[in-house]
Amino acid sequence: MDKSFYRTILLQTMGRVINTTFAFIFIVEFIIGNLGNGFIALVNCVNWVKRRNVSMADQILTALAISRTALLWLIFLSWYVSMFNPALFMSEKFSRTLTVTWTVANHFSIWFATSLSIFHFLKIANFSNSIFLYLKWRVKKVVSEILLVTLVLLFFNTALINIHVNTWINGFERNRTCISISSNFVQFSTLLLFTNTVFTLVPFTLSLTTFILLISSLWKHVKKMQHAAKGSADASTTVHIRAMQAVIAFLLLYAVFFLLIMIFGQGFRIAYPSGHSCVLILHNSKLRQASVSVLWHQQEQAAHNHILKNRN
């Protein structure tokens, strides 16, 4: 046997190893994302049932968790069908439904995260500017109106996505050769990525702006409180820093989200909605305490089961 045969076998083996590794990472991230988002939604829903009252921040957080859960399942469905049923994945009805649904879920996922950043910024930051004070006093109304206005962006985004789908389907119908189908699908995927990136520049810019303004507010607060009581200064500084950490996590993870898609494809789309939800749990005292309680309960249950097993 010549060297080309062994080289082909080696490349095929490496390809299987890489695909298996990516599939394993994808499934682990999918599980983590569902557990994290499900936990956020469950804790807030339980608190709503107990107290009959949910804060604006918890409402946004719950809506964010639900939209991210939907996004995770759509990404998983897209990956699963593309791997095990390529013919269905390339069909017009499935592609159109999946693409439009993914666009809607991604839109709400991004904008709920942005609204959460804006809400925390208006609640935490301190500026004497009259416009800022006006927005601060009407923070609930501001966030609600922002979410309503984004529906206009969603309409235009969905309309453009449908145009891209129609263009791809028409090209697919005209030329059904393997090379043409592959080329058209690559162009179609690139257009989808570009379109969604353009429409997410607005929320990304808003989040970046809130981060910069939070830094400015923190700097002014530190200078103002230099001669005040240390405890008071530390408490306010901690709130500023936690808010900035949450916004930084959103900005970095979303930037990495698009970078990974461009380099590795859809297998890494799931990293952002999974990772950021875990960060939100760590930076929310109520969710963090609830997660600690769950882990503590599981450890106690495991220890109890171990004792019963040893007795038997």
Average model confidence (pLDDT) across the chain: 77
Confidence of residue 252 (pLDDT cuts 50, 70, 90): low
Q: Which residue has the tokens 């607005």?
A: 202
The SS3 call for residue 115 is helix
User: In this prediction, what percent of the chain has a pLDDT beyond 70?
Assistant: 67
CA 224 vs. chain centroid, Å, equals 36
The SS3 call for residue 224 is helix
Confidence of residue 308 (pLDDT cuts 50, 70, 90): low
Cα separation, 120 vs 141, whole angstroms: 14
The per-residue pLDDT for range 39-84, each reduced to its tens digit, is: 988 888 888 888 877 788 889 989 999 999 998 999 889 888 888 8
The per-residue pLDDT for range 126-150, each reduced to its tens digit, is: 888 888 888 889 999 999 999 999 9
According to DSSP, residue 268 is labeled G
CA 141 vs. chain centroid, Å, equals 24
User: Where would I find the beta strands (DSSP E) of the chain?
Assistant: none
Confidence of residue 176 (pLDDT cuts 50, 70, 90): low
pLDDT given for residue 115 in this prediction: 92
pLDDT given for residue 55 in this prediction: 85
According to DSSP, residue 312 is labeled -
Confidence of residue 227 (pLDDT cuts 50, 70, 90): low
Mean pLDDT (whole number) for 214-232 = 65
According to DSSP, residue 284 is labeled -
pLDDT(245) > 80:
no
Six-digit token string for 239: 């709130």
The per-residue pLDDT for range 263-283, each reduced to its tens digit, is: 455 545 666 666 667 777 776
Q: Are the C-beta atoms of residues 283 and 39 closer than 8 Å to each other?
A: no
**Range with lowest mean pLDDT among 69-83, 243-257, 282-296:** 243-257
Confidence of residue 174 (pLDDT cuts 50, 70, 90): low
CA distances from 274 to 15, 266, 302 (A): 26, 14, 27
Higher-confidence residue of 182 and 94: namely 94
pLDDT given for residue 306 in this prediction: 63
pLDDT given for residue 179 in this prediction: 47
pLDDT given for residue 26 in this prediction: 80
**Range with lowest mean pLDDT among 93-102, 211-220, 294-303:** 294-303
Confidence of residue 15 (pLDDT cuts 50, 70, 90): low
Most confident of 77-81, 150-154, 251-255: 150-154
pLDDT(184) > 80:
no
Cα separation, 206 vs 202, whole angstroms: 6
Higher-confidence residue of 213 and 281: namely 213
The per-residue pLDDT for range 186-195, each reduced to its tens digit, is: 677 677 777 8
Six-digit token string for 199: 């429409």
